[in-house]
A and B are shown apart, each in its own frame.
Chain A
Amino acid sequence: MSATPVHVSAVIIGAGHAGLAMSRRLSERSIDHVVLERGEVANSWRTERWDSLRLLTPNWQSQLPGMGYSGDDPDGYMTMSEVTEFITTYATTISAPVHTHTTVTSVRASESGYTVQTDHETWTCASVVIASGGSNLANVPAIAAAVPATITTITPMTYRSPDALAENGVLVVGASATGVQLADEIRRSGRPVILSVGEHVRMPRSYRGRDVLWWMDAAGISDERHDEVDDLVRARHLPSPQLIGTPEHRTIDLNTLTDLGVEIVGRLGRVMDGVAQFSGSLANVCLMADLKMNRLLQNFDDWAETTGCSDIGPKHRSESTRVPAPTRLELDLVANDIGTVIWATGYRPDYSWLDVPVLDNKGRIRHIGGVVDDAPGMYVTGLNVLRRRRSSYIHGAAADSEELSERLEHHLARA
């Protein structure tokens, strides 16, 4: 750690797609800055994802300021190595001033703005952009402590492939994109799989011949702004939609999993004396997901009719979710030969290094559209529904970074 702090106008924390997009915008505005990255560029994509994962967004949506997808499969979905390469190429293309293997250990307010301490240099700056992402830590519920010690418990951050799991049964807890994808590939490996399902978001991969995310963009849903969304807290914390990126563009939902032999059970309530107890609300959460999906598809149909969009297939609806009757309410984990429990119960950001009082009582940064409350010059980006629904995905960074960099420039002018 050097004794003399180095001064720059802005420090961006994190060299993922969001941090790099901000770097590009700051360069466009000739604002001197550095991008601090604890590992390599695109570190989480490199090191915290399972082997088979592909992006949920089609390639044509991988658009960052100054660089878009240029391959020959615009409708395909990138593998993790392709995402890593895409973002690494982006960092080079925009000549981002990235300091890799530089871990931020503290950010605190100072007279001139902020002091950012790392395991190498210390930086002072007027502005800080937090682009470290929303998924640094896996959420594991407290009930995990009651799972018998003979059973292996893991999270999606350490899961890589079915090969590393014991040969016996697997309980996957959580039915967001992560949970359904893991249940799918683990069941295909031959292992018995039970999937515990709470509130979830069902979506077909494609509708009327177009990718569902094409519809989201076309019908204007992706552009719905944070100050227009009906219930912003809910929108920001919705489970990710049950989607999978595959070369076949296949749909994944509870019905396709049931057809594979996955057993669907309710939300995991508790584990007592080695017995997992599941909620009796499964039928209702499935009905709600079906109703919401159909409302979404109706929105698409209405949009198509209003705009006279004709280059699309006929309207159709998916089969309602088949809920097992009766639903299993209890599972003796050991007696039923469960070898592994996977907590696909969401992720949360890690702000343990942030020594500025900007967190709410749930540990989330208080911000309006990425402009952090009560911390002049501090911004956050790369979070779900940050400024618009699109913010949750890679292509959301283009508009978000444009708008936030404008705010940042104004701040520097005032400071």
Chain B
Amino acid sequence: MTTTETPNNVDNGVNTAALLGAREQLSAAPEAAEFIWRASCSWVHGTFSTTTVDGFSGLGTDHHHKTQYTFDADHPECFASEDRGATPTEILLAALASCLTGGVASVAQHRGIQLRSVTAKVEGTMNVLGILGADPDIRNGFSDITVRFDIDADASPEDIQALVAQSQKRSAVYDIVTNPTSITVGVV
């Protein structure tokens, strides 16, 4: 049996009550739960591009972030590029790690587990013969991703394991990476 009551002295900075309230309200009004997330990318030079994230839609209206966020992406020098940003694959690893880490904090709050520190080391293995088009049997993407959490918290090793497992279960990016997603790419 999981615990729903969050002891008052546990504070991971997550507003569990608001999230549980939203879950209840959105279950009753499922159309408000339909969100659209957006990003806009502009080519700069070579493999260097900048992507901005500004606003999204949900709860029946448009929203803006407090500020516009920018992501610089490029390829490293060993790929004959200028290395003016992280590779897109690294940005994906960052998205995965941050999604799981945010999930760990949320689930811990919900379960009354006080966190002291959480770090996640992510590695994606890739044989670049795939993207170079040199071997048709090798896929472009990662052959394997490993995430290693190091968590200091007031909880048993089993509870920490369950925390990380539940975070994966509720993670958007984990789902996007592990399951097929339909993608439509068009040209204006």
- Give the B-binding residues of A (Cβ under 8 A): 199, 230-231, 266-267, 269-270, 272, 277, 279-281, 284, 287-288, 291, 294-295, 299, 326, 361
Contact = CB atoms under 8 A, between A and B. Distances in A.
B177 A280 contact: yes
B4 interface: yes
Contacts of B182: 270
A230 B1 contact: yes
Contacts of B174: 281
B168 A284 contact: yes
Contacts of A284: 165, 168-169
A272 B165 contact: no
A273 to B, nearest CB: 12
A287 to B, nearest CB: 5
Contacts of A279: 178-179
A48 B178 CA distance: 35
A109 to B, nearest CB: 24
A281 B100 CA distance: 14
A281 B96 CA distance: 14
A230 B2 CA distance: 7
Nearest to B175: A281
B180 A272 contact: yes
Q: Most chain-A CB neighbours within 10 Å: which of B1, B30, B180?
A: B180
Interface residues of B, number: 20
A361 B168 CA distance: 27
A366 to B, nearest CB: 11
Contacts of B166: 288
Contact of A294 (B30, B158, B179): B158
Contacts of B168: 281, 284
Q: Most chain-A CB neighbours within 10 Å: which of B2, B175, B178?
A: B178
Contact of B165 (A267, A277, A287): A287
Contacts of B179: 267, 269, 279-281
A221 to B, nearest CB: 8
Interface string B66-83: 000000000000000000
A267 B179 CA distance: 9
Q: Which 6 A-B pairs have the closest CB atoms?
A: A280-B178, A269-B180, A281-B178, A269-B179, A284-B168, A270-B180
Given A284-B169, A287-B161, A287-B165, A277 B1 contact: no
B162 interface: yes
A288 B1 contact: no
B62 interface: no
Contacts of A199: 169
Contacts of B180: 269-270, 272, 277
Q: Most chain-B CB neighbours within 10 Å: which of A281, A294, A361?
A: A281
Nearest to A221: B1
A280 B158 CA distance: 23
Contacts of B2: 230-231
B30 A361 contact: yes
A277 B177 CA distance: 13
A291 B30 contact: no
Nearest to A287: B165
Contact of A288 (B4, B169, B175): B169
Contact of A291 (B4, B162, B175, B177): B162
Given A230-B2, A281-B178, 12 more contacts: A280-B178, A281-B174, A281-B179, A284-B165, A287-B161, A288-B162, A288-B166, A288-B169, A291-B161, A295-B158, A326-B143, A361-B30
A321 to B, nearest CB: 13
Interface string B105-120: 0000000000000000
B144 interface: yes
B1 to A, nearest CB: 6
B87 to A, nearest CB: 21
A295 B179 CA distance: 28
A83 B166 CA distance: 38
B165 A288 contact: yes
Given A280-B177, A326-B144, A299 B1 contact: yes
12 contacts: A199-B169, A230-B1, A231-B2, A266-B178, A279-B179, A281-B168, A281-B179, A284-B168, A284-B169, A294-B158, A295-B162, A326-B143
A284 B170 CA distance: 12
Nearest to B143: A326
Contacts of A272: 180
B29 to A, nearest CB: 10
B19 to A, nearest CB: 14
A294 B158 CA distance: 10
